[in-house]
Amino acid sequence: MPADSMHSLYARANAIFAFMLWVLSAVTFACFLSTLFLNYNTNFHLDVSNVKLRRVNDYASESGVADLAAFDFSLKADVSSLFNWNVKQLFVYLVAEYATEKNPVNQVVIWDRILHRNTRVVIDERIGTPKYHLMDDGTSLKDHKNVTFVLRYNVVPNAGYLRLAQAEGQIQIEMPDSYTAGKPARRA
């Protein structure tokens, strides 16, 4: 091997590129470590009102019928404390949780939102109806005494792992003991 091939333009470019990749990897890892132990907790306030329950046809369930809950809710949360220089966006979602004899764990997402760092970071939603339906796979919602709402979020970083977190606090509601007659209102 000739001695001048060690100092060729290709060999020098390769060495510079390898060093640059090593430095970028070290900086990315330092970015991840600098926010690893930060607190990602926040509070939220939720009001649920006007709860109605309907029995609807559901051909996917064994019984052919299912309970569909309709309600109004308002949600307030300040998530500005969750953003730092390593957070690209938040995926925030409201979950209704309840237990039945058939399924000990039921979790239904009823609302979600993606918050980017350049958009508003205070959630103040006054929604007439949920974004997604709260529907049981049977008739277990009628007269259910404990449907719990919790706010969860995924912290999407620039570098590092996807953090799953839950806001402090929760609200519990009771479902009606009778069905509301009539068809559900159509969503626009």
- Render each residue's pLDDT in the chain as its tens digit; 188 residues: 555 566 788 988 999 999 999 999 999 898 888 888 888 888 899 999 889 999 888 777 777 888 899 899 999 998 888 888 889 999 999 999 999 888 899 999 999 999 998 777 888 888 767 889 898 888 888 888 999 999 999 999 988 889 899 999 889 999 998 888 766 555 44
The owner of tokens 């620039």 is 158
Domain that holds residue 84: 44-173
pLDDT for res 25 = 92
In-domain check, residue 178: no
pLDDT for res 6 = 64
In-domain check, residue 188: no
Residues 48 and 140 reside in one and the same domain: yes
The C-alpha atoms of residue 125 and residue 111 are separated, in whole angstroms, by: 10
Residues 61 and 23 reside in one and the same domain: no
Residues 139 and 94 reside in one and the same domain: yes
- DSSP category for residue 35: T
Question: pTM of the entire structure?
Answer: 0.81
In-domain check, residue 48: yes
Q: How many structural domains are present in the chain?
A: 2
Whose CA is closest to 167, among 144, 185, 145, 149? 149
Residues 116 and 85 reside in one and the same domain: yes
Count of CB atoms situated within 10 Å of the CB of 86: 17
Residues 48 and 22 reside in one and the same domain: no
pLDDT for res 180 = 86
Residues 92 and 66 reside in one and the same domain: yes
Residues 26 and 74 reside in one and the same domain: no
Residues 86 and 56 reside in one and the same domain: yes
pLDDT for res 16 = 93
Count of CB atoms situated within 10 Å of the CB of 95: 18
Residues 17 and 56 reside in one and the same domain: no
pLDDT for res 36 = 83
Residues 57 and 25 reside in one and the same domain: no
The C-alpha atoms of residue 71 and residue 128 are separated, in whole angstroms, by: 7
Residue 165 falls in which region: left (phi positive, over 0), alpha (psi -120 to 50) or beta = beta
CATH number at residue 76: 2.60.40
- Residue 134 tokens read as 């709260």
